[in-house]
Chains A and B, each alone.
Chain A
Amino acid sequence: MTPIHEPLSEEAAARLVQVAALSRSSLAIRGGGTRGLNAAPDGADILSTRGLTGIVAYNPAEMTMTARAGTPLEVVEAALTENRQMLAFEPCDLRGALGSSGIPTIGGVFATNASGPRRFVAGAARDSLLGVRFVNGKGEVVKAGGRVMKNVTGLDLAKVLAGSHGSLALMTEVTFRVLPVPETAVTIVVSNLNDAEAVAAMATAMSMSVEVSGAAHLPESVRGRFAGGVLPDGAATVLRLEGLAASVAVRAEKLAATMASFGPVARLDADLTARLWREVRDAAPYADGTPRPLWRVSVAPTAGHQLVAALRLETGVDAYYDWQGGLVWLRMEADPEAALLRRYVKAIGGGHATLLRARPEVMAATETFEPQADAVAALSARVKASFDPAGLYVSPLIDRKQGA
């Protein structure tokens, strides 16, 4: 059994890391354990944030919250909902797709930079993260950033900690921006577009003054698995509008009129809209109970469908698109085809592919994260060493073999 440490306070966590540093052991940081990625590698102990819980401060009028890293996401969201506020970046819940259990934590959300369909207008998790307290690899408790919206005082360490997947430090407390929940939302559905047509339609929608807050394309192969099967026949290109009711009504008219030149247009009400975009966010069609390889690929919005078209000629794939086409949720029929996929990602202008799911032996044999160019990898290794000189924290994001 891999030893699991669950410090109950920041000070206890710091002491634990100091001891680990002395004994030169390795620690794999775990939040809710929902990603299934953090099976600790050989010889590493698990350092869990489960004992670091609780909302430390929440001032709705200032639109900021501070919470300890292990606070369950549902606790954070319940407090926000009470005040009609939300995490604007829509963190995804991949438990269904990954077949994992566990309780998502707010620290895990920021450590993975989990960001959903509102990416265009609300940014990613990293854009909402205002401040962090963390324990670096020397066992020092450090704070970075603060609790105000605008802050350029010194290096923006919160940015590099967001999405660092436990490779740099143990985040113990996060302060983040929250936003009011929009009064209402509607989805415009354009049916029967092929991938390329859909990308053109989404680009047109995003070029309009209607503030689209979600743009996804759900090909025919997955369409029926969204919104309880109520989407019209054929592929569905879906566009979300949010805001004050009076404004949404006007914008929806305008958008629907323009989209009618691309294909048949339908609308979803606020309840179906909420359900649909949650499913888009969570890769719901691939919550299929199988270990077939699942990738999350981020590329330029116009490049996503080109990538999928190229792959289709060589292997069995199924895919749908968020972020106007730039975020591709990709399920392989058999082999993950990492080399092929990553070659094509480069060929269409670059981006990155993350393997989220596969049989354990396949996961172990595949690089989870996109390998970086040599100079970037060397720089990243130096940045890691500046937080964690002894390489105490192990994470698949930074391969220890690349160490400086």
Chain B
Amino acid sequence: MDQIGFLEPRPAVIARRREIVADLLDLLPPGCLVHEPRELVPFETDAFVSYRRLPLAVALPETTAQVAAVLKYCNRYGVPVVPRGAGTSLSGGAIPQEDAVVIGLSKMSRILEVDYANRTATVQAGVTNLNISDAVSADGYFYAPDPSSQLACTIGGNIGMNSGGAHCLKYGVTTNNLLGAKLVLIDGTIVDLGGKGLDAGGLDLLGLVCGGEGQLGIVTEATVRLIAKPEGARPVLFGFDTSEEAGACVADVIGAGIIPVAIEFMDKPAIEICEAFAHAGYPMDVEALLIVEVEGSEAEMDAMLASIIEIAGRHGVKVVKESQSATEAALIWKGRKSAFGATGRIADYICMDGTVPLGQLPHVLRGTAEIVAKYGLRVANVFHAGDGNMHPLILFNANDPEDAARAEAAGNDILRLCVDAGGCLTGEHGVGIEKRDLMRHQYAEVDLDQQMAVRAAFDAQWLLNPSKVFPLEGRPAA
């Protein structure tokens, strides 16, 4: 298996490194540029840790104007730029390279305004996802998208990747909860898209920027929707003897017109890993577990649960366990949300993110098991079943290059399986470098050409996060 490639660093940029650093030092206040090689190391990768490249320098601007100044400079001198939030990308979206200036938004981490009458929060891009919910929680509100990394990941990064989370089944992903953004274009122009209104005039450029993986510009501020917290929420555990039964149960619940706020799936290896870590009280004598969360008034939760339990019964559910307290409910979610971290304690893993139509879940689960077995590896499945967004964690030993190559090959086979089942390569983690070279499996040349033409409308020189998303060969000349 070949390593994922990066664009060749531009020799002209590498040659001018010292001048570029000196110029950027002039553009930024003291303490806002990292350029000593030793200090650049923390920025060499993100959560896709198999790949590491040192950047040329890291700019840590404090204002939108400084972001604009750095971008304008880089545009003028043809210097690639890699935007960075908290560096939690699972697809390598924030991995830099030797000729690139990283623009990190960590110093822009203020909540600028909370407006309850309009139910919006306007925040700087470096604010963490959880900070928004924490800031409004006491007043009865929350920000809905909740990626597992929400403690660390930033809203700017969420916008870049159009992040999801467990509760998106009901509330939607980032793009459905984003009302406005301040965007700095590669030439330093600052544009305001959207606002506090529920829709904006003109073309929906915000809809392109969200999920643009930092290739269309850098978002420095965002206005997001706040939602009133539900009266109550109750996660319930459903244990099954087979993954197929659990998968079929999910399809039937949704098909019956019941939309819980979340339906999470874990197979036996995932249950064991998460239970050992979180002691959440997961049943250990089942092959597959669903965490179904319902919310609302007691009456509503009871009615919904009764229907779900009835459907689960038809699929041979073995264990139904309701959380009896807020503490128990929190533990159930802690186990689920720490799945990646807990897995990391017992093995190296790569996490896939394909999404498939619900009816295909049993087929794809079976296929995944076969693929992983073929490569002689193990897999733990833990994912958002309600919207078909699968996360097989392929376990391997990173110290064994052959094992690592097998894991990568198995992952690619699984993603092809997802696409062939009518799904897509990535539901919420983004393409980054990880899935870049599989894009032609999902899209025809003409489809990719159209996307690249739109990309070029924002960044004609292909300076923004240039090694990502689109296969390196077949790109238009900049």
A residues with CB within 8 A of B: 59-64, 84-85, 113, 115, 119-120, 123-124, 126-127, 136, 140-144, 146-157, 159-160, 162-164, 167-168, 179-181, 199-200, 203, 206-209, 211, 243-244, 246-247, 249-251, 254, 298-303, 323, 326-327, 349-352, 354, 369-370, 372-373, 375-377, 379-380, 382-387, 397-398
Judging by beta carbons under 8 Å apart, are A154 and B469 in contact?
yes
B residues with CB within 8 A of A: 116-120, 140-141, 161-162, 164, 168-169, 172-173, 175-176, 185, 189-193, 195-205, 207-208, 210-212, 228-231, 251-252, 254-255, 257-259, 296-297, 299-300, 302-304, 355-359, 384, 387-389, 422-431, 435, 439, 442-444, 446-451, 453-458, 469-470
Judging by beta carbons under 8 Å apart, are A61 and B454 in contact?
no
Judging by beta carbons under 8 Å apart, are B164 and A397 in contact?
no
List chain A residues, Cβ under 8 A from B205.
160, 376, 379-380, 383
List chain B residues, Cβ under 8 A from A244.
300, 303-304
For the complex of A and B, 3 pairs with smallest distance between CB atoms: A159-B207, A352-B201, A180-B257
* Identity of the chain B residue whose Cβ is nearest the Cβ of A302 in the assembled complex: B117
Judging by beta carbons under 8 Å apart, are A148 and B444 in contact?
no
Q: How far is the CB of B463 from chain A (nearest CB, A)?
A: 16
* Identity of the chain B residue whose Cβ is nearest the Cβ of A351 in the assembled complex: B197
A-B contact count (CB 8 A): 281
Pick the most buried of B202, B251, B458, B469: most chain A CB atoms within 10 A of its CB: B202
**Given A160-B207, A298-B199, A323-B198 in contact, is the A123-B447 Cβ separation under 8 Å?**
no
Judging by beta carbons under 8 Å apart, are B119 and A207 in contact?
yes
Judging by beta carbons under 8 Å apart, are A84 and B427 in contact?
no
Judging by beta carbons under 8 Å apart, are B162 and A376 in contact?
no
List chain B residues, Cβ under 8 A from A370.
201-202
List chain B residues, Cβ under 8 A from A298.
197-201
Judging by beta carbons under 8 Å apart, are A147 and B357 in contact?
yes
List chain B residues, Cβ under 8 A from A162.
204, 207
30 contacts between A and B (CB under 8 A): A60-B255, A64-B357, A141-B446, A146-B423, A148-B357, A149-B169, A150-B427, A152-B173, A153-B442, A154-B439, A154-B448, A154-B451, A156-B208, A156-B210, A157-B451, A167-B203, A207-B116, A208-B228, A243-B300, A249-B299, A299-B197, A326-B197, A369-B202, A373-B192, A376-B191, A379-B185, A379-B191, A379-B457, A383-B457, A386-B454
In the assembly, what is the distance between CA of A340 and CA of B458, in Å? 33
Q: How far is the CB of B137 from chain A (nearest CB, A)?
A: 13
Q: How far is the CB of B310 from chain A (nearest CB, A)?
A: 14
Q: How far is the CB of A244 from chain B (nearest CB, A)?
A: 5
In the assembly, what is the distance between CA of A119 and CA of B426, in Å? 27
List chain B residues, Cβ under 8 A from A150.
164, 168, 173, 355, 384, 387-389, 427-428
Q: Of B251, B443, B469, which is within 8 A of A61 by CB?
A: B251
Q: How far is the CB of A154 from chain B (nearest CB, A)?
A: 5
Judging by beta carbons under 8 Å apart, are B359 and A160 in contact?
no
List chain A residues, Cβ under 8 A from B442.
146, 153-154
Q: Of B191, B427, B456, which is within 8 A of A373 by CB?
A: B191
In the assembly, what is the distance between CA of A301 and CA of B117, in Å? 8
Judging by beta carbons under 8 Å apart, are A142 and B439 in contact?
no
Q: Of A153, A209, A354, which is within 8 A of B228 by CB?
A: A209
* Identity of the chain B residue whose Cβ is nearest the Cβ of A248 in the assembled complex: B300
Judging by beta carbons under 8 Å apart, are B208 and A155 in contact?
yes
* Identity of the chain B residue whose Cβ is nearest the Cβ of A243 in the assembled complex: B300
List chain B residues, Cβ under 8 A from A302.
117-118
Judging by beta carbons under 8 Å apart, are A160 and B189 in contact?
no
List chain A residues, Cβ under 8 A from B431.
152-154
Judging by beta carbons under 8 Å apart, are A351 and B450 in contact?
no
Q: Of B192, B199, B422, B446, which is within 8 A of A124 by CB?
A: B199
Kindly list 15 other residue pairs between chains A and B, CB separation below 8 angstroms, not including A150-B384, A164-B203.
Answer: A60-B255, A124-B199, A140-B449, A142-B447, A143-B444, A150-B428, A153-B424, A160-B205, A181-B257, A208-B228, A323-B198, A351-B201, A375-B191, A386-B457, A397-B202
In the assembly, what is the distance between CA of A200 and CA of B162, in Å? 33
Q: How far is the CB of A18 from chain B (nearest CB, A)?
A: 13
Q: How far is the CB of B305 from chain A (nearest CB, A)?
A: 11
Q: How far is the CB of B224 from chain A (nearest CB, A)?
A: 14
Q: How far is the CB of B388 from chain A (nearest CB, A)?
A: 6
**Given A64-B357, A370-B202 in contact, is the A247-B427 Cβ separation under 8 Å?**
no
In the assembly, what is the distance between CA of A244 and CA of B304, in Å? 8
In the assembly, what is the distance between CA of A146 and CA of B169, in Å? 17
Q: How far is the CB of B360 from chain A (nearest CB, A)?
A: 9
In the assembly, what is the distance between CA of A251 and CA of B299, in Å? 10
In the assembly, what is the distance between CA of A167 and CA of B456, in Å? 18
Q: How far is the CB of B121 from chain A (nearest CB, A)?
A: 13
In the assembly, what is the distance between CA of A95 and CA of B177, in Å? 31
List chain A residues, Cβ under 8 A from B198.
119-120, 124, 298, 301, 323, 326-327
List chain A residues, Cβ under 8 A from B449.
140
List chain B residues, Cβ under 8 A from A154.
431, 439, 442-443, 448, 451, 469-470
In the assembly, what is the distance between CA of A385 and CA of B362, in Å? 43
In the assembly, what is the distance between CA of A349 and CA of B197, in Å? 9
Judging by beta carbons under 8 Å apart, are B196 and A349 in contact?
yes
Q: Of A113, A156, A327, A380, which is within 8 A of B175 by CB?
A: A156
Judging by beta carbons under 8 Å apart, are A152 and B211 in contact?
yes
Q: How far is the CB of B453 from chain A (nearest CB, A)?
A: 4
* Identity of the chain B residue whose Cβ is nearest the Cβ of A167 in the assembled complex: B203
Pick the most buried of A113, A124, A247, A323: most chain B CB atoms within 10 A of its CB: A247
In the assembly, what is the distance between CA of A164 and CA of B200, in Å? 12
Q: Of A152, A243, A397, which is within 8 A of B430 by CB?
A: A152
Q: How far is the CB of B334 from chain A (nearest CB, A)?
A: 23
